[in-house]
Amino acid sequence: MAHVLETALEFMDNTNPDDLPKVRGYNIIDGQLTLSSDGATFSSQNPALLNDVLGEFPLSTRADVHAAIEAARRAHPAWAATPAPTRGQIIGNMGRLLMEHKDAIVALETREIGKTIKESGGSVQEAIDTCLFFQSEGRRLYGQTVHSELADKELMTYRRSLGVCGIINACNFPAAVPFWKMIPALICGNTCVWKSPQDAPLLSLALARIMHQAGLPDGVVNLVHGKGSGAGQYIVDAVDEGLIDKISFTGSTAVGKMIGEVCGRNLVSCSLELGGKNPQVVMDSADIDNAVEGAYWGGFGTAGQRCTSLGNLILHQDIYDEFMEKLMAKVKDTRIGDSSRNNNILYGPMLSEKYANDFLQALEMVEGSGATKLWGNGRIETGNTPDNFIGTPEDGVFMWPHVYADVTEDMACFHEEVFGPAITVVKAKDFKHALHLANASPYGLSSSIYTNDRLEAYRFKTGIKAGMTGINNSTTGAEAHLPFGGVKGSGNGSRESGIWVIESYSYWHAVNDELSGKLQLAQMDVEEIEMVEAKVDYSTLA
C-alpha cells in the first residue's frame, strides 16, 4: 500500500503527469494480489488532467468474481464466530490508519475523481467517523431476554450475520460510501465482495489495503475491479446462483430496480441508495442570504454530482426576484478548476467523460422541456469559458454552472434527476403549493426548507415524503451517526449509517431454552385463569 499513497503525495508536489509513477493495480482475493484471469485491464484517469493516467487495473472476469465470492464464503464462519468486540477493535484500527494516512488519501481521491481537496477531506473524514462509531458497536450488538408464558423456560434473541455481502458503490464518494456499507457489515460478522467504482479503483485499492493492515483476516473483504456491466453484474448474477446473501448498492434508480428484482425473487436482502430530485423550498419569511448560500452549495458543490444535490429550487413568489438576483450573482462568480493546483475552487471536473456525456444529454432534456436558461453553456472549452474558470479547458472535463427558470410541474425536467451542476427553479404561490411541489417528483431522498415560521417548518418536516430533511440548511450533508437513505424512487427503505443500519446486515434469531425437562407447548399448555367474583360487599359503598 505504501507505494500507492506515495504516488498520491508525489502528485501534491509535482503536477507533471509525465514524472509520476503509474500504479499496477490488483484485485485482492483471499488476501492475495491478483490480476484478471484473462489479463484484461482498464485505466484510471484524472478527470482534471486527462493525460494523467494513475494506473492499470484488472478488468475482472466472471471467474475472478466467483473466486472472490468463494473466498468470502470460506472466511465467513470464522469471522462470524470472532467476538464482536474483537471485530470492533479491528475496525477501530482501520479508523486510526485512515487518520494516519489521511492527507495522502485525500490527495489520491482528488487526483482520481477531481473533487476539491476540501470535499475529499470530508469524504475521508466520514470514513474515519464511521470506523470510530462502529468500533464501539461491537460491544452493543444487543439481544434481549424475554419472559416466557410457561414456567422453567427462557426466551432470548440474538443478532446473526447474513453471510456474504456484495458491495457496489458509485465513484462520487469513493471513501465514505464503501465504509458506510462494509463497516456495519463487518461488525455484524458478514464477509464482503466489493466491486470498486470503475472511476476510483486506485483509491479503493488503497482503502482495501488499509483494511488488511488493520488486522482483517484474509477473505473477509475481497476487492474486484471492473465495469458495472461486468464485475458488478457478475455479483448480482451470483444472487440467482445462491452464492450471495446480501447486496448493497449505490447508484441509479434504474439499476437499483433491476437489483431489487433479482434479490426479491431469491428472497435476498438488498440495500438500495438511489437517485434524487431534491427540493429546496424558500419561504417569504426566510433569511434570504442564508438560503442563497444553501441553494448555491447544494446545486454546485461537487459539481452537482451528489445524490443529495439540489434539484428543484422552489421559491415563494414574494421573494423570487430578490433571491434570484443574489443567486445569479454568485453563480456568475463561480470559480471552477483543479483544486490540486488552484485555491478557492468551488468545484472541479465531472467525475469522468461518461458522467460529462450523461450530463450534456440531461441538459438537452431540460432545454427540450421548455425551461428558460438563465446561465450555463455546456462543456467548458477554449472560447467558451466562464469568467472565473481557472486553467486550460482541454486539460480536463469541466462544465459551466447552469440555472433554468420557469420550470413547472408538467415538465420532464421537474421530475428527472440531472446529475451535474444544474438547478431548476420553480415558483410557488404559498406554503401549501410549495409543499405540493416538493412532493411531486418521483424521488424522495433529501429535502430542505428555509423559513423563520416554526409552524411552516413543522408542517414541512411532517408533510414531506423524503428520507431526510434540512431546516434552514441545504439538501446535502450526512453524519456517521444519522440514518441516510430515501423513499419512493430514491431507495427501498433501507438506511446507511447510525445504529439503524445494523438491521440491514443482520437478522434476529429467537432461542427457546426449555429447562423443565419436558415438552411444554406455548398457547396449548398455558393454564387458563378463570375469573371469579371478588368476595367484597360493594353494597356498603352506596
Residues serving a catalytic function are: 307
Rounded distance between C-alpha atoms, residue 292 and residue 321, angstroms:
12
DSSP assignment string, 143-205: -EEEE-SSTTEEEEEEEEE-SEEEEE--SSSTTHHHHHHHHHHHHTT-EEEEEPPTT-HHHHH
Four-residue CA torsion sign, 170, 172, 175, 181: negative
Got the DSSP string for 392-435?
-GGGS--B--EEEES--TTSHHHHS---SSEEEEEEESSHHHHH
Query: 3-class SS at 520?
Result: coil
β-pairing, 402-405 vs 372-375, is: antiparallel
Rg over CA atoms, the chain: 26
Q: What is the DSSP string of 226-275?
A: --IIIIIHHHHHHHHTT--SEEEEES-HHHHHHHHHHHHHTT-EEEEE--
d(CA 461, CA 442): 18
Q: At what angle do helices 201-213 and 102-113 cross, to 10 degrees?
A: 160
**Residue tagged 500500500 (cell numbers):** 1
Q: Which of 138, 108, 140, 207 is nearest to 167 (CA)?
A: 207
**Identity of the amino acid at 444:** G
- Element at 108 (helix H, strand E): helix 102-113
Task: Name the DSSP class of 437.
Answer: H
Residue type, 267: L
